[in-house]
């Protein structure tokens, strides 16, 4: 029962990242903006989460896990309510991208920290991560269908109202989550600013390719972001109580696991975005028809996520990640007929990758590693939408070009998985 509010919270945050894809045209028309403008709002949501996830994770230790979780839910719900009543694109941006993004950055790290703390062994932990990651994958996959159904039957605004209702339910259920005592640790404000600004500038640079292409402004933003992240890396090695411990980036197994997480979410969000745009703009499907067309991916993810605990008992986590990438590549090559394979592949490896990374570190480091892990995953989501969006606006055959890019990136992810030699056993020393 204690896992239920955690899984629901991950579901609603992932749902929020994909449900708007099927309503892009409708939202753009209603608010008097462009498809690129709505895409910017979608990308900014995942970008804000990525930029603030590490600071949010550190606050989980400082404020207490349950308190941080409920506070994040409250801010998220306020943002969803504001977005539901948005009279224009600016208010939608504040409600959806800013407030929901900040709320997600506060409520998501405690989810993975609590699963790790409550599960005593890798198999039980895999089951917990399977429920949470499966809920996240289901939210991302069901977003187009449920969002399309709600948009067609009622309005795209009703989708935000649904989020408010689910958040209220989660807050009630959160009473069953055990309290943890806050730790009187000094918050690394400078590190938070540097990490957030660096991530923001890098993804903003990629996003701006929709307007500027890969020109000087784009590279200037990406270069500034990379330089800022370099300053952040320098900062955390030379300060007491840094935002996250430098040792988190020195472990081979953990780093490779993080690489697979980034690629998984990039491919998932990128594929849903390119297919949603293609089905609406080229095949002129409605929001609900687009959601139905993407249903096989949801089914595939549901099946493999539900089997996460059993699969963890029979196979090594690194084996599951590799198998997942193989299925994902096969599914992407066969789009749109390969949606079930795509969903099944991502469902298999989402849980395994998280388990490899989180299980690698002891309880004392869970807040730090959870923040880094979630930041990387949300960075992948941001890159997925931004990169695919830039291809769709600039390529001669945008649909094929975008899918080809996603296949190539999946191959890189498979390469990361091949070099994982440990299943995330606790690191010594």
Express each pLDDT in 246-256 by its tens digit: 888 889 999 99
User: What pLDDT digit, counting tens, does each position of 278-307 carry?
Assistant: 887 788 887 678 778 888 887 888 788 778
Residues 204-224: what's their mean pLDDT?
78
HEC sequence for 397-428: CHHHHHHHHHHHHHHHHHHHHHCCCCCCCCCC
Is residue 27 scored above 80 in pLDDT?
yes
Per mean pLDDT, which of 5-14, 107-116, 216-225, 407-416 is the most reliable? 407-416
| Rounded (10°) CA dihedral 133, 138, 144, 150 | -120
| Rounded (10°) CA dihedral 259, 263, 264, 266 | 140
Q: Which residues, at least 6 apart from 337, have a Cβ–Cβ distance to it below 8 Å? A: none
The Cα 64–Cα 72 span in angstroms is: 12
User: What pLDDT score was predicted for residue 396?
Assistant: 64
* Residue pair 289/404 in contact by the 8 Å Cβ criterion: no
User: What pLDDT digit, counting tens, does each position of 141-158 carry?
Assistant: 677 778 888 888 888 899
Residue with more model confidence, 69 or 217: 69
Looking at the chain, the domain(s) classified CATH 1.20.1250.20 span 3-175+243-418
User: What pLDDT score was predicted for residue 130?
Assistant: 73
User: What pLDDT score was predicted for residue 122?
Assistant: 64
- Averaged pLDDT of the chain: 84
Is residue 64 scored above 70 in pLDDT?
yes
Residues 114-142: what's their mean pLDDT?
73
CB count within 10 Å of CB 30 equals: 17
Is residue 73 scored above 60 in pLDDT?
yes
The Cα 417–Cα 349 span in angstroms is: 10
Q: Could you tell me the sign of the dihedral formed by the alpha carbons of 319, 321, 322, 323, in that order? A: positive
Residue with more model confidence, 264 or 211: 264
Residues 161-178: what's their mean pLDDT?
91
User: What pLDDT digit, counting tens, does each position of 33-45 carry?
Assistant: 887 788 778 878 8
User: What pLDDT digit, counting tens, does each position of 48-62 carry?
Assistant: 887 888 888 888 878
Nearest to 346 by CA among 230, 271, 268, 413: 268
User: Which overall architecture, per CATH, does domain 3-175+243-418 show?
Assistant: Up-down Bundle (1.20)
Nearest to 287 by CA among 139, 92, 145: 145
* Residue pair 297/339 in contact by the 8 Å Cβ criterion: yes
Q: Which residues, at least 6 apart from 121, have a Cβ–Cβ distance to it below 8 Å? A: none
Give the rounded percent of residues in the chain with a pLDDT score beyond 70.
93
User: The pTM is what?
Assistant: 0.78
* Residue pair 311/93 in contact by the 8 Å Cβ criterion: no
The Cα 373–Cα 375 span in angstroms is: 5
Model confidence at 84, pLDDT cuts 50, 70, 90, reads very high
Is residue 409 scored above 80 in pLDDT?
yes
């Amino acid at each position: 029962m204690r896992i239920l509010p955690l899984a629901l919270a991950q579901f609603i945050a992932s749902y929020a990242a994909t449900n708007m894809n099927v309503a892009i045209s409708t939202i753009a028309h209603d608010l008097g903006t462009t498809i690129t403008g709505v895409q910017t709002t979608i990308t900014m949501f995942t970008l804000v989460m990525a930029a603030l996830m590490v600071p949010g994770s550190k606050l989980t230790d400082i404020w207490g896990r349950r308190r941080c979780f409920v506070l994040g839910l409250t801010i998220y719900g306020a943002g969803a309510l504001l977005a539901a009543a948005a009279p224009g694109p600016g208010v939608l941006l504040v409600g959806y991208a800013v407030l929901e993004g900040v709320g997600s950055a506060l409520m998501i790290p405690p989810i993975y920290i609590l699963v790790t703390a409550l599960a005593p062994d890798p198999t039980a932990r895999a089951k917990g991560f399977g429920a949470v990651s499966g809920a996240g994958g289901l939210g991302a996959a069901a977003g187009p269908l449920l969002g399309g159904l709600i948009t067609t039957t009622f309005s795209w605004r009703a989708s935000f109202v649904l989020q408010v209702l689910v958040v209220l339910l989660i807050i009630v259920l959160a009473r069953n989550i055990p309290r943890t005592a806050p730790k009187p640790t000094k918050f690394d404000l400078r590190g938070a600013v540097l990490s957030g600004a660096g991530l923001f500038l890098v993804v903003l640079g990629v996003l701006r390719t929709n307007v500027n292409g890969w020109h000087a402004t784009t590279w200037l933003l990406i270069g500034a972001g990379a330089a800022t992240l370099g300053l952040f890396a320098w900062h955390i090695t030379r300060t007491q109580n840094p935002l996250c411990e430098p040792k988190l980036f020195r472990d081979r197994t953990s780093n490779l696991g993080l690489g697979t997480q980034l690629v998984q979410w990039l491919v998932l969000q990128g594929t849903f975005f390119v297919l949603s745009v293609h089905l609406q703009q080229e095949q002129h499907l409605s929001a609900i028809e687009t959601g139905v067309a993407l249903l096989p991916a949801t089914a595939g993810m549901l099946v493999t996520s539900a089997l996460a605990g059993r699969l963890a008992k029979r196979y090594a986590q690194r084996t599951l990640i590799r198998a997942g990438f193989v299925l994902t590549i096969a599914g992407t090559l066969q789009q749109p007929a390969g949606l079930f394979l795509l969903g099944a592949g991502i469902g298999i490896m989402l849980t395994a990758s998280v388990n490899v990374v989180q299980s690698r570190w002891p309880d004392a480091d869970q807040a730090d590693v959870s923040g880094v892990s979630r930041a990387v995953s949300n960075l992948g989501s941001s890159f997925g939408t931004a990169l695919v969006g830039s291809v769709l606006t600039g390529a001669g055959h945008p649909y094929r070009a975008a899918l080809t890019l996603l296949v190539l990136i999946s191959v890189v992810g498979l390469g990361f998985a091949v070099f994982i030699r440990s299943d995330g056993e606790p690191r010594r020393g």
